[in-house]
């Protein structure tokens, strides 16, 4: 690749906020690309990624390109290390905002990882490219697999009469994060009886095969949360709902899970004692899709990886966050 191209894109990526006029123009241009148009941009992006050559893509002058929450020059990161893209293909789109998302797998020299991608298209150009890769060596969890399996519910189209508003869908997804944050057994969102969750390629609910190693994975979504298993998740911070596919009832969220490391032993709602997984300051960057049907969470697909503790989102308008109040002293041991 020519040095001039990298220099141009690097300068553009460091432009932290577009001018107001640019933002207005982007909003107008985003709505002109329907679902098939957005899927077409996604296919071209994936083809370029596979060939490790971003030159032919229609990049905007002020594109924001991130990988695992770090601003990168286009052509860096996964663009240089990729060997192949796997067959798993979960995609959805938000024509109203010009966003399209994809969950798949990548091979980097024998290391297979689940990954997520979001593109924002305006006026026929890529203005944002957000990538999350859960590399087994870096993810910070013992279960990472690229053996992803199809989930028909995620692709199901919601009948028009049963579709929820964007705001209502986001409320259900946000309630999931509120349930997870300092999980004390209280549910802040409704779960379908057959709700399932996949994290970094592994089904972490109703997974009977995993019980021997991970006992809690044998339970359903609501059952896990009612026990208060995730008490050690101190903060679900910088929650962003970057796109909503109303037709399919899917919300894409990004943000961070912070662990202060103060919590030691704690008690579940059934009286059982647990010891916190995280005894040090630690954060995950997450890229998560929520399928909502009949007002309830039905399926969750997540890719997340370890990042520096309290890492901010790299846009100037969101580099300072309001920290949640400290957890009560009685849960700190």
Q: Same domain, yes or no, for 167 and 293?
A: yes
Compute the radius of gyration of the chain from its Cα atoms.
20
Can you give the pLDDT at residue 314? 85
Count: domains in the chain: 2
Structural domain boundaries, residue 165: 152-314+323-331
Q: Measure the CA–CA gap between 34 and 40, rounded to whole angstroms.
A: 10
Q: Same domain, yes or no, for 177 and 116?
A: no
Pick from 310, 306, 311, 308: nearest CA to 139:
306
Can you give the pLDDT at residue 333? 44
Q: Is residue 290 part of a domain?
A: yes
Beta-ladder partners of 71:
66
Q: Same domain, yes or no, for 121 and 171?
A: no
User: CA-CA distances (angstroms) from residue 282 to 36, 67, 236, 256?
Assistant: 40, 19, 12, 10
Q: Same domain, yes or no, for 117 and 196?
A: no
| Structure token digits, residue 148 | 């992803």
Q: Which residue has the tokens 């059952």?
A: 223
**CB proximity list for 50: less than 8 A, separation 6 or greater:** 82, 84, 85
Q: Which residue has the tokens 């991970």?
A: 214
Q: Is residue 262 part of a domain?
A: yes
Beta carbons of 180 and 204 less than 8 angstroms apart? no
Beta carbons of 121 and 100 less than 8 angstroms apart? yes
Half-sphere exposure of 267 (CA within 13 A, CB side): 5
Which phi and psi angles does 226 have, rounded to 5°? -65, -25
- Please list the pLDDT of the chain residue by residue as tens digits (333 residues): 444 454 444 444 444 334 444 555 555 556 689 999 999 999 999 999 999 999 999 999 989 999 999 999 999 999 999 999 999 999 999 999 999 999 999 999 999 999 999 999 999 999 999 999 999 999 999 889 988 888 999 999 999 999 999 999 999 999 999 999 999 999 999 999 999 999 999 999 999 999 999 999 999 999 999 999 999 999 999 999 999 999 999 999 999 999 999 999 999 999 999 999 999 999 999 999 999 999 999 999 999 999 999 999 986 444 333 445 555 544 444
Q: Any idea what the CATH number is for the domain that residue 248 is in?
A: 3.10.450.50
Q: Is residue 143 part of a domain?
A: no
Can you give the pLDDT at residue 326? 57
3-state helix, strand, coil in the chain (%, to 5): 25, 35, 40
Within the chain, how many helices (H) and strands (E) appear? 7, 15
Q: Same domain, yes or no, for 300 and 160?
A: yes
Can you give the pLDDT at residue 325? 53
* C-alpha dihedral (325, 236, 315, 1), degrees to nearest 10: 150
User: CA-CA distances (angstroms) from residue 97 to 51, 64, 105, 208, 242?
Assistant: 28, 16, 25, 40, 9
Q: Same domain, yes or no, for 119 and 30?
A: yes
């Amino acid at each position: 690749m020519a040095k001039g191209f990298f220099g141009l894109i690097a300068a553009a990526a460091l432009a932290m906020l577009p001018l107001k006029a640019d933002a207005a123009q982007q909003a107008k241009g985003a709505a002109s690309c329907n679902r098939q148009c957005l899927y077409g941009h996604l296919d071209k992006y994936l083809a370029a990624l596979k060939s490790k050559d971003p030159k032919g893509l229609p990049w905007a002058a002020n594109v924001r390109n991130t990988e695992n929450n770090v601003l990168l020059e286009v052509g860096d990161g996964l663009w240089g290390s990729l060997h192949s893209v796997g067959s798993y293909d979960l995609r959805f789109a938000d024509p109203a905002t010009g966003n399209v998302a994809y969950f798949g797998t990548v091979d980097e020299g024998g290391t297979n990882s689940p990954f997520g991608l979001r593109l924002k298209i305006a006026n026929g150009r890529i203005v944002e490219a957000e990538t999350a890769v859960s590399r087994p060596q870096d993810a910070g969890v013992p279960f990472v697999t690229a053996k992803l399996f199809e989930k028909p519910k995620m692709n199901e189209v919601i009948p028009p009469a049963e579709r929820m508003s964007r705001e209502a869908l986001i409320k259900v997804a946000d309630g999931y994060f509120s349930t997870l944050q300092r999980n004390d057994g209280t549910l802040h969102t409704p779960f379908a009886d057959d709700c399932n969750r996949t994290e970094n390629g592994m089904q972490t609910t109703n997974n009977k095969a995993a019980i021997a190693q991970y006992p809690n994975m044998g339970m359903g979504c609501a059952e896990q949360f009612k026990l208060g298993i995730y008490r050690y998740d101190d903060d679900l911070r910088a929650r962003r709902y970057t796109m909503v596919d109303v037709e399919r009832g899917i919300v894409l969220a990004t943000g961070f899970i912070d662990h202060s490391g103060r919590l030691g032993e704690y008690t579940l709602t059934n009286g059982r004692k647990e010891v916190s997984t995280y005894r040090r300051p630690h954060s995950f960057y997450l890229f998560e899709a929520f399928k909502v049907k009949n007002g309830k969470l039905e399926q969750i697909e997540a890719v997340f990886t370890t990042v520096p503790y309290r890492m901010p989102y790299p846009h100037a308008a969101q580099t300072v966050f309001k920290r949640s109040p400290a957890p009560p002293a009685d849960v700190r041991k």
